[in-house]
Structure 1
Amino acid sequence: MSDLGLDALREYRPEIREPDDFDAFWAETLAVTRRHPLDARFEEVATPLSGVTTYDVTYAGFGGHPIKGWLTVPAGASGPLPTVVRFHGYGGGRSLPHCWGLWPLAGCAHLVVDVRGQGSGGNVGDTTDPVGSGPSQPGFLTRGVLDPGQYYYRRVYADSVRAVEAARAHPLVDPARVAAVGDSQGGGLALAVGGLLPDLAAIAPDVPFLCHFTRAVELGRTGYAEIARYLAAHRGSEATVFRTLSYFDGVHFAARGTAPASFSVALRDESCPPSTVFAAYNAYSGKKTIRVYPYNGHEGGGPFQEAVQLGWVPTMLKGGRSC
Structure 2
Amino acid sequence: MAQFDLPLNELESYRPALAEPDDFDVFWQETLARHEDVDLAVSFQPVNNGLVTIDTFDVTFAGYGGHPVRGWLHLPVTRTGPLPVVVEYLGYGTGRGAPHETRLWADAGYAHFVMDTRGQGAETPDADPATGDIAAPGFLTRGVLDPRRYYYRRLYTDAVRAVAAARTHPDVDPARVVVTGTSQGGGITLAAAGLVPDLVAVMPDVPFLCHFARATTITDMPPYDEVTRFVKRHREHAATVARTMSYFDGAALARRANAPTLFSVGLMDRICPPSTVYAAFNHYGTHGNVDQSDKQIRVYPFNDHEGGGAAHEVVKLEWLADQLETSV
TM-score (ref. length: structure 2): 0.94
The aligned residue for residue 263 of structure 1 is 263
1:277 correspondence with 2:265: no
Q: CA deviation at 1:58?
A: 0.2
Gaps of 5+ in 1: 120-124
The aligned residue for residue 205 of structure 1 is 204
1:161 correspondence with 2:160: yes
The aligned residue for residue 41 of structure 2 is 39
Q: CA deviation at 1:2?
A: 3.2
Higher alpha-carbon deviation: 152-161 or 74-83: 74-83
The aligned residue for residue 118 of structure 2 is 116
5 Å-filtered alignment, 1:204-243, equals: 204-220=203-219, 221-243=221-243
Q: CA deviation at 1:101?
A: 2.7
Count of aligned positions = 316
1:291 correspondence with 2:316: no
Match of 2:26 among 19, 24, 27: 24
Cα RMSD (Å): 1.3
1:127 correspondence with 2:124: yes
Q: Please list the CA deviations of residues 133-153 of structure 1 after superposition, one character each: whole Å capped at 9, or x if unmatched.
A: 211111100000000000000
1:187 correspondence with 2:194: no
The aligned residue for residue 122 of structure 1 is none
Q: CA deviation at 1:132?
A: 4.0
Look up the SS of the partner of 2:100 in the other structure.
Answer: helix
CA distance in 1, matches of 2:35, 2:303: 39
CA distance in 1, matches of 2:81, 2:237: 52
Gaps of 5+ in 2: none
CA distance in 2, matches of 1:79, 1:244: 44
Q: CA deviation at 1:79?
A: 2.5
Q: CA deviation at 1:317?
A: 2.2
CA contact (8 A) 2:58 2:72 kept: yes
The aligned residue for residue 91 of structure 2 is 89
Q: CA deviation at 1:16?
A: 1.3
CA contact (8 A) 1:103 1:109 kept: yes
The sequence identity of aligned pairs, in percent, is: 55
Q: CA deviation at 1:31?
A: 1.0
1:78 correspondence with 2:73: no
CA distance in 2, matches of 1:138, 1:30: 28
Q: CA deviation at 1:99?
A: 1.5
User: What amino acid is the match of 1:52?
Assistant: I
User: What amino acid is the match of 2:280?
Assistant: A
1:313 correspondence with 2:320: yes
CA contact (8 A) 1:82 1:318 kept: no
Q: Please list the CA deviations of residues 264-287 of structure 1 after superposition, one character each: whole Å capped at 9, or x if unmatched.
A: 000000000000000000001222
CA contact (8 A) 1:182 1:204 kept: yes
User: What amino acid is the match of 2:250?
Assistant: G
**Residues 49 and 319 of structure 1, relative CA distance in 2, 3 Å threshold:** farther
Q: CA deviation at 1:35?
A: 2.6
CA distance in 2, matches of 1:5, 1:85: 33
5 Å-filtered alignment, 1:4-23, equals: 4-23=6-25
CA contact (8 A) 2:129 2:149 kept: no
Q: CA deviation at 1:222?
A: 1.5
Q: CA deviation at 1:48?
A: 1.1
Q: Which runs of 4+ in 1 moved over 4 A?
A: none
Look up the SS of the partner of 1:257 in the other structure.
Answer: coil
CA distance in 1, matches of 2:103, 2:24: 38
CA contact (8 A) 2:207 2:272 kept: yes
Q: Please list the CA deviations of residues 57-95 of structure 1 after superposition, one character each: whole Å capped at 9, or x if unmatched.
A: 000000000000000000032330011000010000001
The aligned residue for residue 5 of structure 2 is 3
TM-score (ref. length: structure 1): 0.96
Look up the SS of the partner of 1:97 in the other structure.
Answer: coil
1:303 correspondence with 2:310: yes
